[in-house]
Amino acid sequence: MAAIAPIVATLWCVAALLITGAIAVAVGRLKWARWLIYGSSLTVCAIACAVAIVHLIARPAAVSEIVLPLGLPWIGANFRLDALAAFFLVVINLGGAAASLYGLGYGRHESAPERVLPFFPLFLAGMNLVLVAADAFTFLLSWESMSLASWALVMTHHREAENRKAGYVYIVMASFGTLALLLAFGLMAGPEGGYAFATMRAHGAPTGLAGLVLALALLGTGSKAGLVPLHVWLPLAHPAAPSHVSALMSGVMTKVAVYGFIRITFDLLGPVSWWWAVPVLFAGAITAVLGVLTALMQNDIKRVLAYSTIENIGLIFVAIGLALAFEGNGMKAAAALAMTAALFHVLNHALFKSLLFFGAGAVLTATGERRMETLGGLLNRMPATGLLFLVGAVAISALPPLNGFASEWLMLQAVLLSPELPQWALKLLIPAVGAMLALAAALAAACFVRAFGISFLGRPRSPAASNAHEVDGLSIAAMATLALLCLLTGIFPALVIDALAPVSSALTGSRMPVQTHVAWLSIVPIAESRSSYNGLLVFLFITASASLAAFVIHRLASDKLRRAPAWDCGFPDPSPATQYTADSFAQPLRRVFGGFAFRATEVVDMPSPGDGRPARITVTLRDLAWDLIYDPIIRLVAYLAERLNHLQFLTIRRYLSLVFGALILLLLILAAWS
């Protein structure tokens, strides 16, 4: 290992993934192709993950670079592996390995494996390349190949009209995002065309244009990550793909976008100014609350998960915004805290969102259904999947002792440092953002109580749900691995925080205090006197008290046999329709927030007495992003296209005159320029 530089090893892994994709084209239709392709993806991702972990732990400050004679001739293809890239490589390859393992089992039920297998390794290779790219050309090329490969995966089941629409919206938004990034890099490269990241880093932000670059970066990476209002493609595209790909897109690809934003703002754009934080905080807070509110209203379990991804991206962007605010004011320790919280949440979200999508995929395999209204009672039929899904749901709801709590707690600790900021704008904005974070966390808990409760508890609402069977062992193994990692990072957050120290010191010039030296594995973000958290202690307490309670109840309470008239436990009518439904569970929250956030309207159609037909309640929700932004744009484009249509039918001389006129106009502009 010592002989090969880590960056070279990573590039070999990318090459291996590309070769795997090429082989998949040839053997995709064969029965055993799944074992070969997912097996080698799993191996390669595991190796790449190990390389990145070793780089991050063993030589945290080292930077491994290489220039290949590809790409633009005068700069070549630059690749660079530093602490930030290494951390994201760990996240991506962890998710990639888990998805490959899950794919080994889940892929058995795939109706068209030849449409999935070639693009799956290609997608992984694209994401890995984005992280190690060190010039704008290589970055954008990798970014586009990642987008295109994932688009092909979204279009796997292209015979369903809904999926075609999802693919279309996705490719439009992805192209828009890449255009924004292209312009951002163009501005940073300047008139001399310094497209290598090293050059951009050296001369920093173009004077007076930092705000424009920031806006473009926010648009470009935000459209991939799913910031409101650029999120419209995400809840369409993520559920449309096969479940292990959904897990990759939601858990992993959005993190590549987060990486891009951190790379541009903290690394390439030069010294951070405090006002950069304002748009990021706004976008993040709105995204978090709207994402989880919409998730609460959904009935398709994979769309619930997709909207919840939007919420978590909002949380991560809020933490990045906090880091920008502190960094811009020279508060290094606070910036390190916020940045560590953001990165920690990146890791956590990759773990539990992949786990939850795997669980949704297992439910889909077992029942053929994604609509929660047709599920129910699955915990008895699929105990392992149910338990693992519950672990993921608890983690994403930020309940201790799992990992979601640790990172969101760190974010709130960073929010509590905001009174020390000098700017009044931030002093007033950040507590409001903190309140939004708290609201989002509470709503997320409600959302996952609903998702788990409606799908797994109660009684089955359809024959498909009552005939469900547990899924195969490999899928469960993939879920169990992720659940175990969620638990471990939740119990031992100190280890993760210390592993993140080189990343935060490379970005903010500071790091959080060393945590592994603190007694009893507690974490202390600022000082012992202010706050500390011990995941292990909470875990032990919960385990001990829950076991004790179970023991006491079983030993003492149910000892005697009692006979009594049944109160029926709220089930006088044996029909499953009497249970709480997903919509009825969400109704109180919809009444509180829906009118404002979705222009929700409820119409009750009550038949008059004596009329035999059933009463109906109709709920309409509007998507404001579509109504206020996208529909006007679509109408404008259609109008312009209509007006320009006659240009298709001009005479040859008119066309020549147009060319001539354009040329003369450009020359006139050039002549009048200086």
Partner 1 sequence: MDKLAFDVAHFLAGSLVLVSLMLLYQDRLSALLNVFAFQAVVLALSVAWQAYVQDAPHLYLTAAIALSVKAIIIPVALHRMIRRLGIHREVETAVNIGPTMLGGLGLVALSMVVILRVTAEADMYAREDLAFALSVVLLGLLMMVTRRNAVSQVVGFMSLENGLILAATGAKGMPFVVEISVAFSVLVAFIVIGVFLFRIRERFDSVDLQAMDDFRGERR
Binding residues for partner 1 (CB under 8 A): 649-653, 656-657, 659-660, 663-664, 667-668, 670-671, 673-674
Q: Which is nearer to partner 1, 618 or 648 (CB)?
A: 648
CA 257, CA 252: separation in Å to the nearest integer? Answer: 9
Least distance between partner 1 and beta carbon 139 (Å): 32
* Residues forming beta bridges with residue 618, ordered by sequence position: 603
Q: Which is nearer to partner 1, 161 or 652 (CB)?
A: 652
Q: Are strands 601-605 and 616-620 parallel, antiparallel or unpaired?
A: antiparallel
Strand-pairing partners, residue 619, are 602
Query: Rounded to whole angstroms, what are the CA distances from 507 to 168, 272, 273?
Result: 37, 11, 14
Min dist CB 656 to partner 1, Å, is: 5
The least CB distance from residue 659 to partner 1, in Å, is 8
Query: 638 or 668, CB closer to partner 1?
Result: 668
Min separation Cβ 219 and partner 1, Å: 34
- Nearest distance, CB of residue 650 and partner 1, angstroms: 8
Q: Which is closer to partner 1, CB of 424 or CB of 649?
A: 649
Select 540 or 667, whichever has its Cβ closest to partner 1.
667
Assign 3-class secondary structure to 206-254.
CCCCHHHHHHHHHHHHHHHHCCCCCCCCHHHHHHHCCHHHHHHHHHHHH
Cβ distance to partner 1 smaller for residue 425 or 650: 650
Which of these, 96, 83, 108, 104, lies nearest to 6 by C-alpha position?
A: 83
**Long-range contact list for 418-422, CB < 8 A, 24+ apart?**
418/322, 418/325, 420/331, 420/334, 421/274, 421/325, 421/326, 421/329, 421/331, 422/329
Give the C-alpha separation, 485 to 355, whole Å: 10
Smallest distance, partner 1 to C-beta of residue 667, A: 5
Is the CB of residue 248 less than 8 Å from the CB of residue 397?
no
Nearer to partner 1, 61 or 644 (CB): 644
Q: What is the Cα–Cα distance from 617 to 615, expressed in whole angstroms?
A: 7
**Cβ 190 to partner 1 shortest distance, Å:** 20
Considering the complex, what minimum distance in angstroms separates the CB of residue 651 from partner 1?
A: 5
Min. distance of Cβ 645 from partner 1 in angstroms? 15
Is the separation of the CB atoms in 240 and 157 below 8 Å? yes
- Our CB check for partner 1 shows the closer of 207 and 651 to be 651
Least separation, in Å, of the C-beta of 191 and partner 1? 15
Beta strand segments in 434-570, E: none
In the bound state with partner 1, the residue whose beta carbon lies nearer, of 3 and 671, is 671
Residues in the chain: 674
265 and 275 in contact (C-beta within 8 Å)? no
| Residue pair 480/488 in contact by the 8 Å Cβ criterion | no
Q: Which is nearer to partner 1, 633 or 670 (CB)?
A: 670
φ, ψ of residue 417 to 5 degrees: the values are: -85, -5
Q: Which is nearer to partner 1, 165 or 654 (CB)?
A: 654
Q: How far is the CB of 642 from partner 1 (least distance, A)?
A: 19
Cα–Cα distance, 496 to 533 (Å, whole number)? 14
Query: What does 290-309 look like in DSSP terms, one character per residue?
Result: HHHHHHHH--BHHHHHHHHH
